[in-house]
Homo-oligomer: A and B are copies of this chain.
């Protein structure tokens, strides 16, 4: 059994999803391991991880529209408001979605379903550079 740490750096274009599945496949390939589990942890508090449909981009737009409606930007009741209208909403969006994911792999392939993509979900308006800690354990 071996393990490998990697740090992915993902550039976002502001609020919305970036498909990082390809980076995870490359990380598994680079590890040389065939069977095991990949643990991901996003190292921020205003973006998150989401597994979601990878086919129709309207799914991602509808998830975004839902969160924008349920978690209002710039809500006047927010106490934490001096980093912009999107900041506290971003923290709440992160609480409602995922910060860590575990994805098994077998025969060198991630055990994702055929319609699943792994996304980094940027919740801030501005583009950011985001880090995801990747831990690969296996043999």
Q: Give the interface of A toward B (CB within 8 A).
A: 1, 3, 5, 35-37, 39, 41-45, 50-53, 56, 58-59, 61-63, 65-66, 70-71, 77-80, 88, 91-92, 94-104, 106, 111-116, 131, 133-135, 137-139
Contact = CB atoms under 8 A, between A and B. Distances in A.
Nearest to A55: B45
Given A79-B58, A99-B98, A106-B5, A37 B135 contact: yes
Given A62-B80, A100-B102, 9 more contacts: A5-B111, A42-B113, A45-B53, A50-B95, A51-B94, A58-B79, A59-B91, A62-B78, A66-B92
A91 B58 CA distance: 11
A18 to B, nearest CB: 15
A44 B80 CA distance: 30
B79 A61 contact: yes
Contacts of A102: 39, 41, 100, 102, 135
Contacts of A138: 3
A77 B116 CA distance: 23
Contacts of A42: 113
Contacts of A101: 99-100
- Nearest 8 pairs between A and B by C-beta? A43-B113, A104-B135, A58-B79, A58-B80, A111-B133, A45-B53, A39-B102, A1-B1
Contacts of A133: 104, 111
